[in-house]
A and B are shown apart, each in its own frame.
Chain A
Amino acid sequence: MMPSYQPLTREQMAWRAAQDLPEGAFVNLGIGIPTLTASYVPADREVIFHSENGVLGLGPKPKPGEQDENLIDAGKNYTTLITGGCYVHHADAFLMIRGGHLDVSLLGAFEVSETGDIANWTTDDPAFPPGVGGAMDLAAGAKEVRVLMEHTSKSGAPRILRHCSLPLTAAGVVKRIYTNLAVLDVTPAGLVVLEMVPGMTLQMLQSMTEPALTAAASLRSLQPPTARAA
């Protein structure tokens, strides 16, 4: 009988990624699951979030009635500025991204390869124009690029591949992958599994992952709090 396991929710995935953001880090959160990460940074840690549209020190969502029409985030939702935050113009916002000034860029992705290639900007649908936004800047520029994504597609196909099938956003940049099943590092020796959800075996995880996996000597159970808030 197959052992049973429970995949992480989107909130739990965001919680896990947040635990790795170090004190004092400047971090850009991509659109999607990465955006949720801001809510789960441990309370005793100061992490400064950067938004590509020129906000350094992005705060939580504004309370109803307190939205400022001139203050939005990269997803064009209303946001706030934390105490100590400031505004910069676009060329400086992207200088920060491209010039290695951000400690971590946390991105969503369609696919990641075993050598750290990332595909997250286009599905190549001919019916729609492509849009790249800041995806290529964010994938190329940060000191460390990490990905947050579901381990497999809705149909169960692996999204961690030997080679990405979709057009690349950047080649060889991803260092760590957080999925709803595991935490993996991209290393010169291949993909190393650091953590897996309870009930998951390396063999089962391998069956949902195209490239070969090896278990870290320190392989641990991935157990976020079940409650929503960290």
Chain B
Amino acid sequence: MIDKRVKTLGEAVAGVKDGATVLVAGFGAVGVADHLLEALHDQGARDLTIVANNAGNGDVGLARLINSGRVSKVICSYPRSGDYSAFLNAYRSKSLELELVPQGTISERMRCAAAGLGGFFSPVSAGTQLADGKETREIDGRLHVFEKPLKGDIALLKADKADRWGNLTYLKSARNFNPVMAMAADLSVVEVNSIVALGALDPEAVATPSIFIDRVVVVGANA
């Protein structure tokens, strides 16, 4: 019987190695796997490369990992969001490297890795600082920039409901980066508000199919 449920947050993030690339879903504070990020803090892996839209808020989750010196690189589109003091301190002390990527390019680079493609040419950032050093090509008269796929060792995801196979549904704009990150990591781990029986999710409403999910853990009131 397929059963991807794990009982504890510790089991959910077990095995993350030093130097791992971690895909952290969410946009602002919405759709972020706060519990899994805390569990990763407890787990202890170091020298992490984080892929996220923003770069942490306050001293919880991703910000706490940064404050604890566990993050060596952040790949994101917009670090200056909310209370980003953790990121700012690390950035100014040069203990952390920033790779700034346009938001749609981040998501497409992950989609590309998920789809087994070797990269893509995009008109976004052509002729700007963010294209410096990148291969370019004129396609149909327009300058394009070559972007490489971006794959994670682990994705930390937040969804609403799951079944034991790992089919997922989301709530409103909390979907954001979750489906694309779920597809783009070797190990995709999701925290959910509840688990329902196999067959209880409307097949038309499943936004992330079970094939992409490895571990499911319930958090919150139903944990």
Does A68 sit within 8 A of B, measured CB to CB? Answer: yes
A-chain residues with CB within 8 Å of residue B14 when the two chains form the complex: none
B104 lies within 8 A of A68 (CB): no
Q: Given known contacts A137-B105, A140-B126, A169-B128, is B173 in contact with A55 (CB within 8 Å)? A: yes
Q: Does chain A have a CB within 8 A of B30?
A: yes
Asked if A170 is at the interface of the complex by the 8 Å CB criterion, the answer is: yes
The count of residues in chain B whose C-beta lies closer than 8 Å to any C-beta of chain A is: 47
* Given A53-B27, A76-B28, A89-B178, A131 and B80 contact (CB-CB distance below 8 Å): yes
What separation, in Å, do the CA atoms of A91 and B98 have in the docked complex?
Answer: 22
Q: How far is the CA of A25 from the CA of B176 in the complex (A)?
A: 23
| Selected contact of A132 from candidates B29, B102, B170, B180, CB within 8 Å | B102
Tell me whether A185 is interfacial, beta carbon within 8 Å: no
Name B178's closest neighbour in chain A (CB-CB). Answer: A89
Which of A91, A130, A167, A170 is the most central at the interface, judged by chain B CB atoms within 10 Å of its CB? A91
Choose among A89, A128, A137, A171 the residue that contacts B176 (Cβ–Cβ < 8 A): A89
A94 to B104, Cβ gap below 8 A?
yes
A167 touches B177 (CB 8 A): no
A89 touches B180 (CB 8 A): yes
A interface residues, tally (CB under 8 Å): 39
Contact for B128 among A54, A69, A76, A167, CB less than 8 A: A167
A134's partner among B91, B104, B173 (CB-CB below 8 A) is B104
A130 touching B100 by the CB < 8 A rule?
yes
Would A88 and B77 count as touching, CB distance under 8 A?
no
Cβ B79 vs Cβ A129 within 8 A? yes
Q: How far is the CA of A207 from the CA of B22 in the complex (A)?
A: 53
Q: Is the CB of B124 within 8 A of A141?
A: yes
Residue of B nearest to A168 (CB): B128
Q: Which residues of A contact B (CB under 8 A)?
A: 51-55, 68-72, 76, 81, 87-91, 93-95, 97-98, 128-137, 140-141, 167-171
21 contacts between A and B (CB under 8 A): A53-B27, A54-B27, A70-B30, A70-B171, A76-B81, A87-B170, A89-B176, A89-B178, A90-B27, A90-B177, A90-B180, A98-B104, A98-B108, A128-B80, A131-B79, A133-B103, A135-B102, A140-B124, A141-B123, A167-B128, A170-B127
